[in-house]
Chain A
Amino acid sequence: MSATAVHSLWTTDGLSASDGLWAHGGLWAAAAEPVAKIDSPQIEYSLIAPTLIVIGAAVLGILVEAFVPRRSRYYVQLFLSVVALVSAFAAVVALAADGRGTTESGIAAMGALAVDGPALFLQGTILLAGLVSVFTFAERRLDPEAHGNRVDSFAAQAASVPGSESEQAAVKAGFTTTEVFPLALFAIGGMLVFPAANDLLTLFIALEVFSLPLYLLCALARRKRLMSQEAAVKYFLLGAFSSAFLLFGIALLYGYAGTVSYAGIADVVDGTVQNVTPALAGTMGNDALLLVGAALILMGLLFKVGAVPFHMWTPDVYQGAPTPVTGFMAAATKVAAFGALLRLLYVVLPGLRWDWRPVMWGVAIVTMLLGAIVAITQTDIKRLLAYSSIAHAGFILAGVIATTPDGISSVLFYLLAYSFVTIGAFAVVTLVRDAGGEATHLSKWAGLGRRSPLVAAVFAVFLLAFAGIPLTSGFAGKFAVFKAAAEGGAGALVVVGVISSAIAAFFYIRVIVLMFFSEPKPEGPTVAVPSPLTMTAIGVGVAVTLVLGLAPQYFLDLANQAGVFVR
C-alpha cells in the first residue's frame, strides 16, 4: 500500500522554514547533544494574526471583568468582542488577499500551524459565525426585565445554586454573566487553531482550548438551569472521555512515527523516511500502532462533529445549553472539527486511505440514517435540530470520504452554508416564547404562521435549506458534497445520502406544515420582538442562505481555490 504519488493531488509543498527541525525529530536529536543551545522559537506573527487577535481580546476581556465597573461591562465586552472578531476576519481576508491561501501558503510557528486555503477559509467561516453568534449572545430584549434590569439568555451568576437565595439576590442585583464574551472568544480562538493545527500536540491543545469554554457556556442558561447544568456535565464528561482517546491515539502515532508533525507522520506512512529514531526503534513503523492510533484520533474528531456512534451527547447538550450557545456550538464547532478531520485525513493519512475509507463509509452511512430516522419522532425543536445536525454531519462526511480536491472544496462550501442556516435557525428558536421562556415543544409551534407570518416564513426558509430544497444554500451544498462523493467513487454513499435526505425532508416539512397549516392553540406562545442584534443574526442567516442558494458559483469557486492543503 505505498501511495506516495497521491500526495500531489491534495497537497503542495509548503514553505516551511523549520520543516527539518520538527518533522524529522531534529529538535529532539539536538536536545540530546551535550552543549544544548535552544534557539528561541521563530514565530511569524503576521501569519497567525487572526488567532492572536482573538486570544488577545479574550485575555483583555478577563481584565475587563476584573477592572471595569459592572454596569458598563456588557457594553465594553460586546464592543471588544465585535472589534476583535471583525479585525481578525479582516486579518484573514488580508492573508487570503496576500495569496496565503493559494500560491503563498505555508507553515508558520515552527511547524505548529498551517496557513493555507482550507485553514483560511474555515477561519473566515468560524469568525463570521462567531460574530453572528456573539450578536445572539448579546440579545437582551427577549426575556422580560427582571427587577428593572434587562437580561440575556445567561444565568445572573453562574456560581449560585439554582433556586437558591443567592441566585435570587443575584437576579435582584441585576447581575449578568458577561464572562460569556471572553469565553466565546477563547472558544473561537481554539477553533481557529483547530483546523490549522499542523501537528498532533497543537491539535490537542486547540481542542481543549475551545472545548473547555464551551462546557462552561453550556451550563449558563438563565432558564431551566438544572437542565443546562446537566447538559454541561454530560458534555464535559463525555468530552473528557473522548479527549483521552484522542490523546492516546496521539501517543500511539508518535510511537509509530517518532514525530507529531503531520508531514513527518505522513512521510513515515508513505515509507519515504527510513532513518529510525534510536529511542523508538522498537515501535517505529509498526503498522498496528499506526492503525489503532489513527482510529483513536479519528474517534476524537468524530465525537466533536457528532457522528454516530459518538453522537449521544448532541441532543442532550443542544437541548440543555442556552439556545444562543447551541447555535454557536452547532455551527462553529462543526466547522472547526471538520476542518481538523479534513487535514488529518488528507495530509497525514492519505497513504492510509484504503484502510480508513471503508470505516468512514460505515460511519457516514450510520450517521446519516440514524440522524434522519430518530429525528422523525422528536417533539422538541432543539432536539429535532440536534438530530438534524447529526444527519448533516453524515452528509458532510460523504464529501470528506471523496478524497478528491472537489471533496475538500465541497465540504468547505457545505460548512459555510450550514453554519449560517444553523445559527439563524437557533436564533429563531429564541424568539418563540411563553411564560416559561423559550417554547421549544413542537406542539406549541402549531399555527405560528398565522400569528407571526414573517418569523414562520424565515424559519421555513431555514428548514428548507436544511432539507436541501433548491434555491437555498442547503441544496447547493448537498449537491456539491454528493457530486464530489459520487466522483470519488462513493456512489453507494450518495444513494444512502439521498434516501436519508428524503427521510429528513419529512420532518423538516412537517414543521412547516405544523406552522402554516395547523390551527394556532389558544394559549400558544408569543413571538418576542428582538433587538437589532438578533435581527441581524437572523437576517444574515437568511441572506447567506438565499445568496448561496441562488448564486452558489462564486463561493464554490472560492472554496475550490482554497481547497489545497499545504504540507
Chain B
Amino acid sequence: MENLIALLVAAPLLGAVILLCGGRRLDRTGHWLGTLLALGSFVVAALLFTDMLGRDGEDRAMHQHLFSWIPVGGFQADIAFQLDQLSMTFVLLITGVGSLIHIYSIGYMEHDERRRRFFGYLNLFLAAMLILVIADNYLLLYVGWEGVGLASYLLIGFWQHKPSAATAAKKAFLVNRVGDMGLSIAIMLMFTTFGTFAFGDVLAATGETSEGKLTAIGLMLLLAACGKSAQVPLQSWLGDAMEGPTPVSALIHAATMVTAGVYLITRSGAIFNAAPDAQLAVVIVGAVTLLFGAIVGCAKDDIKKALAGSTMSQIGYMVLAAGLGPIGYAFAIMHLVTHGFFKAGLFLGAGSVMHGMNDEVDMRKYGGLRKYMPVTFVTFGLGYLAIIGFPGLSGFWSKDKIIEAAFAYGDGVRPWIFGGVALLGAGITAFYMTRVMLMTFFGEKRWQPTPDPHKEPSAEPAADDAHAGEMPHPHESPKSMTIPMIVLAFGSVFAGGLFSLNESFVHWLEPVTAFEHPHPVISVPAITASTMVVLAIGVAIAWFMYGKRPVPVTAPRGSVLTRAARRDLLQDDFNHVVLVRGGEHLTRSLVYVDHTLVDGVVNGTAASFGGLSGRMRKLQNGFARSYAVSMLGGTAVLVAATLLMRAV
C-alpha cells in the first residue's frame, strides 16, 4: 500500500508533462486526460485512506523512500514521502476539491483556445501541492512550495494578454518570493542546528535546542506562511490574484495553496510549541489578518475580491488557531477543510454567476439573480450559511471551536484580546457575506449592458466582442459546472457536523498534532451564545444597508474607512512608499557602487586577462619549428624539474 504514495504525485505530474509537451494534437482531448488523472489521484488517495483507517491511530503514518537525491557526506537529501493523518487530510482535500474543479473547468474554460494548457497547469499545481503535503522533509517540501508558487504564477497570469493579469501574476510571484526567502532561511537554520531536514529528526530534536534558535526558525517559517497564505504583512497579492480564471481562484487561492502556510505551521508544531514568542507572533499575525481581510471584504464591489478578502480573513482564523498550540492545531485544520468546501463552493458559484452575466464582476450590477440561477443560488446560499457559521452547518462547528480556543489562549488579557478579535471577526464575516448575498441574488435587477472590452477591460477577458453592448441574459450554468457546486455544497453543510461527531476529527489528528482541551476564560455556552448574537447583528446591519434600501449602481463615496478598505486598506500605497521607493533608493545607491567600484575591479580584471590572453596567443605563431622548440624547452624543463625534485 505504501508504494502507492508516489502514484498520488505521479498521476498529475504525468498529466502536466503530457499536456504541456503534447502540443496541439491534444487540444480536443487534453482536458479529459487532465481530469481523469486528477480523479485517478483522488482514487489512490481514497484507497490509501481506507487502508489507513484500518490501522490503529499510532501506526497510521506511511513512508515511502524513493531515492536519495543528493547524498554528499553528512548532507543527505531524500526524495521520500510521509503520509500521516495530517497529510492524508490535505491529500483528500486537494485531490477531491481538485478533481471537482477540474470537472468544473471543462465547462468554464470551454471557449478558451488554450484550455489544454490550462489543464496542464492545473495538473502541475496538483502535483506540486501533493509533493508539498506528503514530503517527509523540509527540503522536498520546499520543492513543492516553489512548485505551487510557479503554478499559481502561471495560472494567475493565464490570460496574459491582459496587462492587469500579467501584473497580478508578477506581484504574486514577487510577494511570495519574500516568504520563500523565509522558508529557505528556516531550512538553512534547521540544517545548521539539527544537521538534517527530515520532519521526524528535526521535530524530535526540538527538546535539546535553545529557545532562541527555535524562535528564529519559527519566525522564518511564519514569514514563509505569511507569503503563501496571504497574511499581513505579505497579504497584498491575493486580491489581485483574482485576475486568474475563477476555477483557479477557487482551487488555488481559496481551498488549497493559500492554506499551505497553515500546514507548515501545524507540521512544525513541535518547533512552535517550544518557542512561545514565535507562537505569539503567529497568533498576532492571524488576528490582524482576520480583521484586515474581513474589513477589506466589506468594501469590495467586485464579487471575487470580496471573496478574496474573506479568504484572507478565514485563513487568519486558521493561523490564529495554529498559533494557539495543541489546543488549536486540530481546529485550524478542521476549519481549513470545511473552508475548503464552502469557499471553493462560493467561488464556483461566483464563477457561475459571472458565466451567466457576461463576465460582469461588479455586484452592483447584479441583483435579483435567484430566480434565474436557482442551482447557483441554493449552493451559494448554503456556502454562505456555512461561512457565517449558521448553527449546524460546517462553518459553525469549526469556527466556533477556534473562537473557544482563542478565549483559552494564555492568561491575563490575552484570551480576552484574541477571543474578542475572533468574535468580532465572526460578526464582520456575517456582515460582508450577507452583503454579497443580498447584492447578488436579491433586490431588483441592476443589470447593465456589457461594456466594450476594448475600451474598458473587465476582469474576465472571456467577454468576447459578441457580447459587447448587449444586456446580459442570466441563465443556469451547464451540468459540468453545477454538479461540482452541488457536491461542494454537501460538504459545506455536513462536513463540520460529521467532523465534530464524537470529536472524530480531533481524534483523527491527535497522533500527529497532539491535542489538549481548551479551557476558555468564559464558559463555552456563553461563547456560543455571544457568537450567535454577533452573527445576528452582522446580518441585520447588512440587511438594513443592502436589503431594505436599494443598492446604487455606482458606488457612493463612503466613509474614510470604506474608501481605505476599497483600496485594500492602503496596503499597496504603503508598499509603494516604503518598499518600492525605499528599494529604488537602495538600488540607485547600489548601482552607483556597482558601477564605480565593482565594475571597476571586474572590468579591470577582465581587461588584464584579456591583455594577457592577447600576448600569450602570439606565442602560437603557426610555425611547426617554433612549436618544436617550445616542446624541446618544455621537455628540458620537465627533466630538469624532475631531477631537481630529487636533489632538494
Contacts and interface: CB of A to CB of B under 8 A. Distances in A.
Interface stretch (A43-51, A207-215, A238-246, A391-399): A238-246
B553 interface: no
Given A309-B631, A356-B645, 17 more contacts: A233-B624, A234-B624, A237-B628, A238-B624, A238-B627, A238-B628, A292-B639, A294-B642, A295-B635, A295-B643, A296-B639, A309-B633, A312-B630, A316-B620, A354-B645, A373-B609, A376-B609
A370 interface: yes
Contacts of A242: 631
B609 A503 contact: yes
B639 A355 contact: no
B616 interface: yes
B111 to A, nearest CB: 31
A309 B630 contact: yes
Given A238-B628, A238-B631, A355 B642 contact: yes
Contact of A359 (B610, B617, B641): B641
A298 B638 contact: yes
Given A373-B609, A374-B617, A376-B609, A312 B642 contact: no
Question: Taking chain A's interface residues, is the majority helix, strand, or loop, or is none over half, making it mixed?
Answer: helix
A553 B619 CA distance: 41
A10 B624 CA distance: 39
A196 B638 CA distance: 25
A496 B633 CA distance: 24
Nearest to B637: A309
A67 to B, nearest CB: 38
B624 A292 contact: no
Interface string B351-370: 00000000000000000000
A315 interface: yes
Contacts of A234: 624, 627
A482 to B, nearest CB: 13
A310 B634 contact: yes
Contact of B616 (A292, A295, A316, A374): A374
Contacts of B525: none
Interface string A373-397: 1111110000000000000000000
10 contacts: A292-B642, A296-B639, A309-B630, A310-B631, A316-B620, A359-B642, A359-B645, A363-B638, A377-B613, A377-B617
| The 7 nearest A-B residue pairs measured at CB | A309-B634, A312-B627, A376-B613, A377-B613, A295-B639, A295-B642, A234-B624
A362 B610 CA distance: 23
A237 B625 CA distance: 9
Interface in A258-308: 287-288, 291-292, 294-296, 298-299, 303, 308
Question: Taking chain B's interface residues, is the majority helix, strand, or loop, or is none over half, making it mixed?
Answer: helix
Interface in B50-108: 68, 71
B467 to A, nearest CB: 39
A555 interface: no
Contacts of B638: 295, 298-299, 359, 363
A204 interface: no
Given A362-B641, A377-B613, A291 B630 contact: no
B612 interface: yes
Contact of A313 (B627, B639, B645): B627
A242 B628 CA distance: 9
Given A238-B627, A316-B622, A374 B641 contact: no
A453 interface: no
B620 A287 contact: no
B620 A315 contact: yes
Given A233-B624, A373-B609, A373-B612, A291 B631 contact: no
Interface size class of B (residues with CB under 8 A): 20 to 34
B610 to A, nearest CB: 6
A310 B631 CA distance: 5
B109 to A, nearest CB: 29
Given A238-B627, A310-B634, A376-B609, A358 B641 contact: yes
A506 interface: yes
Given A245-B635, A292-B642, A237 B624 contact: yes
Contacts of B68: 553
A175 to B, nearest CB: 30
A363 B641 CA distance: 11
Nearest to B611: A377
Nearest to A234: B624
Given A241-B628, A374-B617, A377-B614, A291 B643 contact: yes
Interface residues of A, number: 41
A296 B635 contact: yes
A238 B622 CA distance: 12
A303 B642 contact: no
A296 B635 CA distance: 7
B285 to A, nearest CB: 36
A374 B631 contact: no
Contacts of A553: 68, 71
A292 B643 contact: yes
Contacts of B612: 373
Contacts of B645: 354-356, 358-359
Contact of B643 (A238, A288, A374, A375): A288
B204 interface: no
B407 to A, nearest CB: 52
Interface string A321-356: 000000000000000000000000000000000111
A299 B646 contact: no
B613 A299 contact: no
A370 B616 CA distance: 8
A295 B634 CA distance: 11
B606 interface: yes
Interface in A172-229: none
Nearest to A375: B613
Which residue, of B612, B624, B643, B646, has the highest number of chain A Cβ atoms within 10 A? B624
Contacts of A287: 646
Nearest to B626: A312
Contacts of A316: 620, 622
Which residue, of A242, A359, A375, has the highest number of chain B Cβ atoms within 10 A? A359
A300 B638 CA distance: 11
B643 A373 contact: no
Which residue, of B71, B609, B634, B642, has the highest number of chain A Cβ atoms within 10 A? B642
Contacts of B637: 309
Contacts of B610: 376-377
A554 B613 CA distance: 39
A443 B616 CA distance: 22
A567 B620 CA distance: 41
B331 to A, nearest CB: 43
Contacts of A310: 631, 634
Contacts of A355: 642, 645-646
A477 to B, nearest CB: 15
B492 to A, nearest CB: 45
Interface string B582-620: 000000000000000000000000100110111011011
Given A238-B627, A242-B631, A313-B627, A373 B613 contact: yes
A354 B616 CA distance: 31
A413 to B, nearest CB: 15
Contacts of A354: 645
Contacts of A376: 609-610, 613
B642 A356 contact: yes
A479 to B, nearest CB: 9
Which residue, of B614, B637, B638, has the highest number of chain A Cβ atoms within 10 A? B638
B627 A373 contact: no
Contacts of B617: 374, 377-378
B616 A299 contact: no
A242 B624 CA distance: 13
